[in-house]
Chain A
Amino acid sequence: MDFNDSKEEATFRNEAREWLVANAPTAADLNGLDDMGQAKLWQKRKADAGWACIRWPKEYGGRGANAMEQVILSQEEAKVKAPNTGFFSIGQGMAAPTMMTWATEDQKKQYLPKLASGENVWCQLFSEPAGGSDLAALRTRGVRDGDEWVVNGQKIWTSGAQYSDFGILVLRTDPNVAKHQGLSYFFLDMKSPGVEIKPIKQISGASGFNEVYFTDVRIPDAQRLGEVGQGWQVALTTLMNERASIGGGGGGAGFEQIMKLAQQLNIDDKPAIEDKQVRANLANWYVRQAGLKYTGYRSMTALSRGEIPGPENSIGKLVGAPLTQDLASFAIDLMDQAGILWSPESAELENIFQSAYMSIPGLRIAGGTDEIMANIIAERVLGLPQDVRVDKGIPFSEVPTGN
């Protein structure tokens, strides 16, 4: 066991580092650009030099690199000061793999390079008010009209819809067959007439999500991915990639930060870190955070050996999000009566735990709730049976509905 790169990996790391250091945007490059403008500038620069979406084939804007090289590039990019390109993660991480598997060759050539370069931003239109954990219960209707589909209904929790150029979406195209059989999968131009986007204000005050309404929106049949009625199968390609791309992060509120806080604050006129209960709590968070880190190393080792990582990695979000929530809550308690203060102008340690406290509830739900993640581990990793489903085998239109 060691933590060293192989010879090829070391060569790649050097090459990546040299390029990143030489090409990361300077303050002058970014002057006057908003967050999206900065992200687009950096993404385009990476794409032009072959450092964007490096695992993709070259003809679609990638580099044909392996998974370990992707890990190395991400590690090195985290070390340079570069704009946050999170705007592109849904498109590149979820829409693109789905296009790669299900789109025609012409479509791949048309859409993928612009996804890689950040020229186009994509969003994912899956969840609905009646289709959350039970995603296949979605009701937004698609009705065929010649070479087009007419769409009516509502999507919800759509991250980034307000700045997206395209979206991937799943529609109910046949309500008279069983739930999973009546779905079809499309992509559409978000500027299509009849698409209306309304931001959702979250408990944190931020608005990262939207409701998206469809009123007689027309989508060409050529933008269908997979056969009519095969939408669920196509959606699974997207979902498998989603869970890999949502971490458990809490905006920098982790062990290191709470350790610092406990060293700065006092309990009974002594540094809080000397309090035995504080130490025990900190130790518990440390070992869970470390467990995730070393689980990641095991997965990386599999990648480095050209193997597929085992199921260990499916635990990241399920462990990380509740861990950060508990840690943030405890940090606020440590601040005692002033723990309720929450101002963006405050010093980092007087702000990040409050921000994490208010944003983590969303992470425990997004991309599969804790409960759904536990089901996935139970069923796919441990091989336990699925729940009994009362909607199995009956037409969707006859499935009982509540509120």
Chain B
Amino acid sequence: MNFEFSEEQNLLREQTRGFLKDFCSPKVVRASLEANGPFNQELWRKVAEMGWTSTVIPEEYDGLGLSYLELSVIADELGRAMAPLPFSSSVYLATEAILAQGSKAQKEAWLPRLASGELIATFAMAENHGQVSPKNLTTTVTNDKIHGTKTPVPDGDYADLAIVVTQSSKGDGASWYLVDLTQSEIQRAQVRTLDPSRSHAQIDFNGASAELIGTDGGGWAATQNLLNRAAVLFAWEQVGGSDAALEMAKEYALGRYAFGRPIASYQAIKHKLADMYVRNTLARSNCYYGAWALNTNASELPIAAATARVSAIQAYYFASKENIQTHGGMGFTWEFDCQFHYRRSKILAVNVGSERQWQDKLITAIEQTSAA
């Protein structure tokens, strides 16, 4: 039984945490929030220099060729720091999409620049409110020209490249297209969201050029697989944030006195924090399983990903709202940092599909496994 990170991976964690403590303090998060994004470019450059954007990209495409366990460690720490970066869009989604479906030429064209962080990419799926399905996709491609509107697209206001989920040419499924977002036809505007420290955009494609990635009609299966992989890494960010929210609540409760003693000595607060600890622990252990499945490309990945995702969504929501509650009135002020977790937890909870959707996927995956 070896269900733990290695010594080297723990060293990477220390180094990552130390780096983010120095360069991604809550002040940095606040600056992005108050400036309404788009993101912290200086921090992005430093993160890319550290090689984080190239973690799992193979060496032949100028990556580090490390495993998903290393990427999990980085995700955990980025989540803890609530880094105002397009990391999830560019690394967990776009890079993974190209690694999974790109032709050799597409990989050669894009991966080295994604590895270096010189290029930022995203994955465009949502078309306004409601769950996307192959039946309701309205973005289409004719003669390699893309039409339609995607919103909200994470980091879509400044990403250089997008993998866009479109209706397939026969209209019976989905396809993926690579779209250079710097083309003049494209109109994009930042949209207001619950968490301005992670900006999102509406993108109108207006007949810009698009290049098929993967197979026409194979986009829906590719999307499900991509979301399973990304869900594990999102879950790591969520448990990182959950632990940080718990620590924040704990520090405050120890220092805040009411009726002559620290509020941390009242059972109402103690049990609340114990409850956070329990939820965080369950979610974190599920993330270990998710990381194992992702790293070994195990057939259990759909179950492991949904399990990590559902418990991490629940843990972060709980920790972020009860952190505000523990802080009392001050937790509700703009001045305090409690809002960061509350905002970020919701963004992360819906970015790759909502809790309800993943609960359903989990049971579907279990049904399929037991039927097989």
Q: Which residues of A contact B (CB under 8 A)?
A: 1-5, 9, 68, 259, 273, 276, 279-280, 282-284, 286-288, 290-295, 297-298, 300-302, 304-305, 312, 315, 318-319, 371, 374-375, 377-379, 381-388
B310: interface (CB < 8 Å): yes
Question: Cα distance A343–B69 when bound, in Å?
Answer: 50
- Which residues of chain B (350-370) have a CB below 8 Å from chain A? 356, 358-360, 362-363, 366-367, 370
Contacts of B367 in A (CB 8 A): 273
Partner of A283, one of B1, B289, B360: B360
Q: Jot down 27 A-B pairs with beta carbons below 8 A, ordered by A.
A: A1-B5, A3-B3, A4-B2, A273-B367, A280-B360, A283-B306, A283-B358, A284-B310, A286-B362, A287-B282, A287-B286, A290-B285, A290-B311, A292-B282, A295-B285, A297-B285, A298-B3, A300-B1, A304-B1, A315-B282, A318-B278, A375-B270, A378-B270, A378-B273, A382-B277, A384-B265, A388-B261
Known: A273-B367, A388-B261. A297 touches B1 (CB 8 A): yes
**Nearest A residue to B306 by beta-carbon distance?**
A283
- Determine which of A3, A283, A288, A384 lies in contact with B363 in the assembled complex, contact meaning CB atoms within 8 Å: A283
Asked if A276 and B360 sit within 8 Å, CB to CB, the answer is yes
Contact between A298 and B273 (Cβ–Cβ < 8 Å)? no
B264 contacts across to A, CB distance below 8 A:
384-385
Contact B289 A301 (CB under 8 A): no
Give the residues from 265 to 294 in chain B that come closer than 8 angstroms, CB to CB, to chain A.
Answer: 265-267, 269-271, 273-275, 277-278, 281-283, 285-286, 288-289, 291-292
Q: Which of B4, B295, B314, B358 contacts A302 (CB 8 A)?
A: B4
**Roughly how many angstroms separate A319 CA and B2 CA in the complex, as a whole number?**
24
Q: Give chain A residues whose Cβ lies under 8 Å from the Cβ of B314.
A: 284, 287
Per-residue CB proximity of B142-166 to A under 8 Å, as 1/0? Answer: 0000000000000000000000000
List chain A residues, Cβ under 8 A from B266: 387
Cα–Cα, bound, A1→B363 (Å): 26
Which one of A1, A9, A386 lies within 8 Å of B3 (CB-CB)?
A: A1
List residues of chain A with CB within 8 A of the CB of B274: 374-375, 377-378, 381-382
Q: Is B122 an interface residue when CB atoms closer than 8 A count as contact?
A: no
A312 CA / B280 CA spacing, docked (Å) = 10
Q: Mark B288-329, 1 if CB is under 8 A from A, else 0.
A: 110110010000000000110011001000000000000000
Q: How far is the CA of A273 from the CA of B366 in the complex (A)?
A: 12
Whether B360 lies near A312 (C-beta < 8 A) is no
Min distance, Cβ A93 to any Cβ of chain B, angstroms:
22
- Do the beta carbons of A298 and B307 come within 8 Å of each other? no
For A388, what are the chain B residues with a Cβ–Cβ distance below 8 Å? 261, 265
Residue of A279, A295, A315, A378 near B271 (CB, 8 A) is A378
In the complex, B171 has a CB within 8 A of chain A: no
Q: Which residues of A contact B120 (CB under 8 A)?
A: none
Name, among B5, B266, B281, the residue most crowded by chain A CB atoms within 10 Å (CB to CB).
Answer: B281
Establish whether residues B3 and A315, one from each chain, have CB atoms under 8 Å apart when the complex forms: no
Given contacts A280-B356, A297-B288, A378-B270, contact A315 B281 (CB under 8 A): yes
In the complex with contacts A1-B295, A384-B270, A284-B359 CB distance below 8 A: yes
Q: How far is the CB of A304 from chain B (nearest CB, A)?
A: 5
Q: How far is the CB of A298 from chain B (nearest CB, A)?
A: 5
Residues from chain A with Cβ under 8 Å of B273 in the complex: 378, 382, 384
Task: Report which of B267, B270, B295, B311 forms a contact with A291, defined as CB distance below 8 A.
Answer: B311
Interface residue? B75 (CB, 8 A):
no
Bound Cα distance from A99 to B283, whole angstroms: 38
- Mask, B239-267, CB within 8 Å of A = 1, is 00000000000100110000001101111
* Interchain CA distance A259-B366 in the complex, whole Å: 9
For the complex, give the distance between the alpha carbons of A295 and B306 in Å.
17
Among residues of B, the one whose C-beta sits closest to the C-beta of A263 is B367
List residues of chain B with CB within 8 A of the CB of A315: 277-278, 281-282
Contact between chains at B3 and A381 (CB < 8 Å)? no
Q: Which residues of B contact A276 (CB under 8 A)?
A: 356, 360
Docked complex Cα distance between A295 and B279 (Å): 12
Q: Within 8 Å CB of B271, what residues of A?
A: 371, 374-375, 378
Kindly provide the distance from the CB of B368 to the nearest chain A CB, expressed in whole angstroms: 13
Whether B267 pairs with A298 at a CB distance below 8 angstroms is no
A300 to B1 alpha-carbon distance, docked (Å) = 7
Which chain B residue has the least Cβ–Cβ distance from A281?
B359
The 6 closest A-B pairs by CB, nearest first: A291-B282, A283-B359, A378-B270, A294-B285, A297-B3, A377-B274
**Known contacts A283-B359, A292-B282; 17 further A-B pairs (Cβ under 8 A):** A1-B291, A1-B295, A259-B366, A280-B359, A280-B360, A283-B360, A290-B286, A291-B281, A295-B282, A300-B3, A301-B3, A371-B267, A371-B271, A381-B274, A382-B250, A385-B262, A387-B266
Min C-beta distance of B245 to chain A, whole Å: 13
Residues in A whose Cβ lies below 8 Å from that of B267: 371, 374-375, 387
Asked whether B288 lies within 8 Å of A1 as measured between CB atoms, the reply is: yes
Instruction: Please indicate the chain B residues that have their CB under 8 angstroms from the CB of A286 in the complex.
Output: 307, 362-363, 366
Contact of B250 among A279, A282, A291, A384 (CB under 8 A): A384
Q: Distance in Å from the Cβ of A311 to the closest Cβ of chain B?
A: 9
